[in-house]
Amino acid sequence: MNPENFVINGSQSIYKALKAIESNKHGMVFISCDGNSIKGIATDGDIRRFLIGSGTLEDPIYKCINKKFIWEKIGTPRELLLKKLDNKTRVIPLLDDEKRLISIISRDYAPTVDEESIYARARSPVRISFAGGGSDLTHFFSGETSGAVINATIASFSHALLRIRNDQKIIIKSMDLDATLEANTLEEALSIKGEFGLLQALLKLINPNFGFELYLNSDFPIRSGLGGSAVVASAVLGCFNEFRRDQWDRYEIAELAYQAERHHLDISGGWQDQYASVFGGLNFMEFRMSQNIVHPLRVPDSTLLELEESLVLCDTGLSHQSGEIHQDQNREIRKKNIRSVLEENVKLSYQIRDELLRGRLREFGTLLDKAWQQKRQFSKKITNTVIDKIYEDSIANGALGGKLLGAGGGGFFLFYVPPYKKYQLLDFFKSRNFTYQSVRFEDRGLQSWKVRESKSHTPNELQ
């Protein structure tokens, strides 16, 4: 609907106003006495009454003006406009701050909202594992043997924000790395050497045909044993997935995250981190060459709440390189005695699953200790005298069992402590100045969503 067909200068004749009314077919014109802002309205009824009196077709239209007319500002909510049209209003002009006519709404013409600029957000949770780590390595289950792990995601996230640009420029800002990557094209971004290897591997897979800004931050420290690289990868994939017409499903996102880290970056490791972060919740996972399956566990709420209160994360203060440990573990797995221990650890995953489903948490704590005693045999790089001392002292101060998360060598210990021993254990951590935190399960995995920029920010904030 062209606004020009509805506006006439007040000095023009009634005859020309009637020609405009005939043209716009809405029975009215808006009168602009200064050639710009709207001063009033004249309907065919207003003109007819004027002509019945003493008026002529050559009189200026401003003699028919009605200055009390219904109008709204541009940007008025669509809902309000539709309600006003319900009250027998035929036409509603939309005016700007200078009362210039910008658009017109009628019962026959109420266009939908134009597409606006949007950005995508995503967040993905970290995981804590209870048993079976190492059996998710392809080297382990490549034959007849199956791998099995049991893990849960907790309320600690990697966050990503993706905004598409109008050019081909790429800007990536990572709070975790305290670094920024800027490039004029995707090809240039992939060629830059530095700390952005994981993100560059993801971009090779995604192959975006647009420029973008990507902002990243995490609630947890890097190299903490919480599967951080997989968590970051899934959050990034979640953002890009929001702009796909044919969206990846959860298995596909986990596979892409695995491919970027294991194949493109050639970092050794298993499969569980990617699946845990993408699917979320408390899961029992089975790994075979034919397929990987994620089984959500339906544990009673009371059991989960008690388990949360009985678990404590303790930071060893030691960072680790999981890829190096996994490489060593891959070599060790080929030894018959180590493989047999890992097979026992898989059986332990089934036992822990059963104890959780039955709500027998004391048995769970005991099995957690057994899982650690087995895990520390997989590679000489998994533990050391400092880590062993932390574990022994924690057991002496009330913990029933625990295990080092991730590949090992540092990061976080997860301890299970009975209710009446918890404060003794926490006092011990305080006496050693260890950083510790409680556990809160997160039953949702990767979450991603889109937001209209105009609904969350002013234009100046987007510069």
Q: Which residues are catalytic?
A: 273
Q: Tell me, letter by letter, the H, E, C secondary structure of 174-240.
A: ECCCCEEEEECCHHHHHHCCCCCHHHHHHHHHHCCCCCEEEEEEECCCCCCCCCHHHHHHHHHHHHH
Listed in order, strand segments (DSSP E) in 219-336 are 282-287, 292-296, 311-315
CB under 8 A, 24+ apart: contacts of 20-23: 21/47
Q: Return d(Cα 124, Cα 416) in angstroms, integer.
A: 25
Q: Find the helix packing angle between 250-258 and 228-241, rounded to 10°.
A: 130
Helix (H, G, I), strand (E, B) or coil at 69: coil
Instruction: Report how far Cα 91 is from the mean position of its chain's Cα atoms.
Output: 43
Indicate the helix (H) or strand (E) that contains 451. strand 447-452
Please list, in sequence order, all residues whose beta carbon lies within 8 angstroms of the beta carbon of residue 139, skipping any fewer than 6 positions away: 330, 333, 334
Segment holding 8, helix H or strand E:
strand 7-9
What is the H or E stretch that residue 154 is in? strand 147-164
HSE, side-chain direction, 13 A CA sphere, residue 52: 6
Report d(CA 169, CA 187) in Å as an integer: 11
Q: What are phi and psi of 238, to 5 degrees?
A: -60, -40
**CA angle, 364 then 365 then 371, to 5°:** 85
β-bridge partners, 180: 173
413: its two tokens = 């210990």
- Beta strands 212-218; 170-174: pairing state: parallel
What are the beta bridge partners of residue 161? Answer: 121, 215
Surface-to-core class of residue 191, CB atoms within 10 Å of its CB (0-12 exposed, 13-18 middle, 19+ buried): exposed
CA angle 92, 98, 103 (to 5 degrees): 30
